[in-house]
Chain A
């Protein structure tokens, strides 16, 4: 089909709709084909005026109700308005093309201001002339079909794209009649070595039968079957295909394995090749997809053999392209940005996991249920404990997100995975206490961390100063020492927070706490916390469990009710015998002491801040 009857020189108004589709448009005025009810454009030969007439007729139908004068006006307006748009589109398109062209032409590059259309076009003409002069005059010879690309280049591109070579073999003895140069890139044999050899010397022994089959010419082997995918039925080939040397014969498509030499470069002596080489392992095989067709020529045309006594039989050949079959793995290209693995966890304020995203399993190896209830500190690498503890404290006191540095998290198998997390705390708006910490954990893909099998936090390793010896927590066996120890860091921090709450408000038993057990244990633990906290202050460490060391929190609160228990002088804290309380009396006592504290601080406003859970 011709590309449309447009005259090259006249200022044609091309139909942009058709243009967009890549066809040079039909002759005729541009019509608002888009706006009008679409008339199906069949074959190109429509007369331009009838087209116009028909479109206007369409318009007319729509405007029937109007008056005569309006009719005229409306007609023109409806005709012109979309026409304007089309014109604009066409102009924009042309301008874009001109811009692209000026970008491609070196001569147009350094110009400060945009060049006008005509100049760009003229420069393009000059550029093309220069290019043509530079090439080897490939286009000067017009005896054969000119093409946009010189054939040499095309061939080069084809070979590059397709990793293939052309092969012509005779069907009777599988002699390689022709093989293209590109075979050297694929099989590492030179053309010379292969031409004239028997193809079977190069085929994998197990494929020899297959190839023999394929070479059998169609006349002798009418048992080819065609599968017509439109119906799925097998269509028997009714008559053997009559082949003349100009028409294509039966198609062949098959896979076979061919030898390829490991040694690159040309082999000097042809004869030392496959036939003599006994060692099969010198060669590797690569899979090739061979497609082609049979052709036969009357052999009297062959003159290279120079054998005049050759019988006038047909020489049938298989002409095919053998393409290296790539083993392209079907996974998305690495360029596709895959989000790094992230998973979410929630911890109680003491660091115990209360929710673990299922995705975490792919990272840490544990199933969610295996870690729920355990403290996150048990999994942190000891080098990271200090900084994470610090962050833990921070997040409990801040409203915004806290970013941790990279740290190592112990996986189920003992190895460590590098994570980086964002933590933020959730505060209950009613109780104004932190309920839990949400952690968004991101896997940082680095080399595997050093594999520390055991948590030797409690071991002989030097620890940071503010992490102290294991306070013995009643009820828990000492065998779990190291783990409990690590876990207790979180508990400590949590308790600091809780203590700070108590300072600010009544120990509201009704205040929600994410987990019931901790609430119960809180009063129990806090004296110990304060003890261990106090021992934190002096490195000597104190393991005194006696309640005499308990101090009221109130006293401690005096020095820092801002909620920085780490700076509390906990030595001054007095907790009235909480460990032995079992009734409300002690609770009352605590309340009273707190009230006293607040009064002591003299902040009258505190009473409003007190949260009375009613």
Chain B
């Protein structure tokens, strides 16, 4: 009896092994067809292969309709001529030997890489359900996880739960919005498995990174493809390079009252730093921009970093200037042995860029302005 059972078990084991082998072969075939680097391909597990296949197919459907919208070939000829500089040098030498198509590919790839590098961000294509259909490969620089690991997963697995509502709102698209390429601009927190030194660590020890996402809805020509958002995601920098005249920095308490402002504000807005201390930024801005500032403030409180978008600040004697602020919350710093000095409480640091000149200098928009203009 038992021998019989044994034999049967052995047969079924063999069959199972065979099945598994066949399955693995098919998986292998599939992964071979995916345009991946060999090193990446070797490390894929089965679910990942399917995930990436799905992404590939989806992207293909998405872009199928825009075949006609791709860059014209006419530019490639000029491309080679106009370009100067070291980085394109190699294309000069090599480009003329290859077929035009190959040249075009290389040039385009150089251009896109340059774009991504300068922009300091990565591209994300998000479906309306939140699936990250596509991520440009430099995502590993920002999230510590590679393109192959992330593509096809859902963004809600990687973002801060408190931001999910906002992300969902941004993903809501009507047909009309998709066709008109409605724009999106929001800030969210995403997991980053990068250590301080820039090395990738385990996702369990991930920290939150604040990303500024901007983009628009993508027109889908084929009916089978799901509409999606194209977004560039840029981490908000924590250090800014400033040059003199058109920016100024300020520090605020958490309620956005000025606690410090640098001297350059005088040239730009007319106020002296002293008279700004203790005043709320909401007092100093155009009433119609209060919503913009509130959103900025909320982002700061919740996500610790924010980009304000354009708003108007009132100039001392009348009129206003268009500005944009990049702000961050600075954690409170207690004086210690390594860092002696005064205790720095939790506060907000703003770098404000002035975008325009003084508009309508005689327009009085606040009582304050009138007082300043006529009484001082």
Contacts and interface: CB of A to CB of B under 8 A. Distances in A.
A81 B66 CA distance: 51
A48 to B, nearest CB: 16
B47 A191 contact: no
Nearest to B351: A227
Contacts of B200: 1
A287 B71 contact: no
A128 B27 contact: no
A42 B202 contact: yes
A320 interface: yes
A161 to B, nearest CB: 4
Given A22-B157, A162-B232, A291-B120, A104 B214 contact: no
A287 B355 contact: yes
Interface stretch (A209-217, A405-413, A465-473, A481-489): A209-217
Given A98-B50, A230-B238, A8 B31 contact: yes
B11 interface: no
Contacts of A78: none
A1 to B, nearest CB: 4
Contacts of B172: 333, 335-336
A209 B243 CA distance: 12
Contact of B291 (A19, A132, A297, A329): A329
Contacts of A168: 85
Given A24-B48, A335-B174, A150 B105 contact: yes
Nearest to B242: A225
A311 interface: no
B169 A138 contact: no
Central interface residue in A181, A227, A302, by most chain B CB within 10 Å: A227
A317 B50 contact: no
A141 B185 contact: no
B241 A224 contact: yes
Given A191-B75, A213-B243, A301 B46 contact: no
Contact of A336 (B59, B61, B169, B181): B169
Size bracket of the A interface: 35 or more
A161 B62 CA distance: 14
Contact of B203 (A11, A23, A336): A23
A88 interface: no
Nearest to B358: A206
Contact of A291 (B119, B169, B170): B119
B15 interface: no
Given A148-B151, A321-B115, A295 B242 contact: no
Contacts of A303: 92
Contact of A128 (B34, B291, B339, B347): B34
Contacts of A297: 85-86
Given A152-B108, A227-B239, A287-B310, A128 B330 contact: no
A12 interface: yes
A327 B105 contact: no
A101 B50 contact: yes
Interface stretch (A251-259, A345-353, A585-593): A251-259
Given A97-B47, A125-B29, A328 B309 contact: yes
Contacts of A143: 102
Given A98-B50, A329-B292, A154 B118 contact: no
A245 interface: yes
B27 A8 contact: yes
Contacts of B22: 118
B26 to A, nearest CB: 4
Contacts of A397: none
Given A146-B37, A166-B114, A326-B185, A121 B291 contact: no
B98 to A, nearest CB: 9
B324 A291 contact: no
Given A152-B105, A327-B310, A139 B35 contact: yes
Interface in B107-158: 108-109, 111-112, 114-120, 123, 125, 134, 136-137, 144-151, 153, 157-158
Nearest to A290: B118
A257 B321 CA distance: 14
A292 B324 contact: no
Interface string B240-265: 11111110010100000000000000
A307 interface: no
Contact of A254 (B39, B153, B181, B353): B353
B164 interface: no
A122 B125 contact: no
Interface string A113-134: 0000110011011011101100
Contacts of B351: 227
B298 to A, nearest CB: 10
A410 B85 CA distance: 72
A301 B115 CA distance: 23
Interface string B156-189: 0110000000000110111001000101110000
B115 A158 contact: yes
Given A5-B43, A232-B347, A23 B52 contact: no
Contacts of A136: 101
Contact of A153 (B63, B117, B215, B356): B63
A558 B85 CA distance: 107
Contacts of A226: 239-242
Contacts of A100: 50, 54
18 contacts: A3-B40, A11-B24, A42-B202, A100-B50, A125-B29, A145-B37, A148-B36, A149-B59, A152-B105, A157-B63, A166-B111, A191-B75, A227-B349, A232-B344, A234-B249, A235-B239, A254-B353, A297-B85
Shortest 4 CB-CB distances between A and B: which pairs?
A161-B230, A151-B109, A161-B215, A229-B238
Interface of A: 1-6, 8-12, 14, 19-25, 40-43, 93-94, 97-98, 100-101, 104-105, 117-118, 121-122, 124-125, 127-129, 131-132, 136, 138-139, 141, 143-158, 160-164, 166, 168, 177-178, 180-181, 191-192, 195, 206, 209-210, 213-214, 221, 223-232, 234-235, 245-246, 248, 250-255, 257, 287, 291-293, 295, 297, 301-304, 315, 317, 319-321, 323, 325-333, 335-336
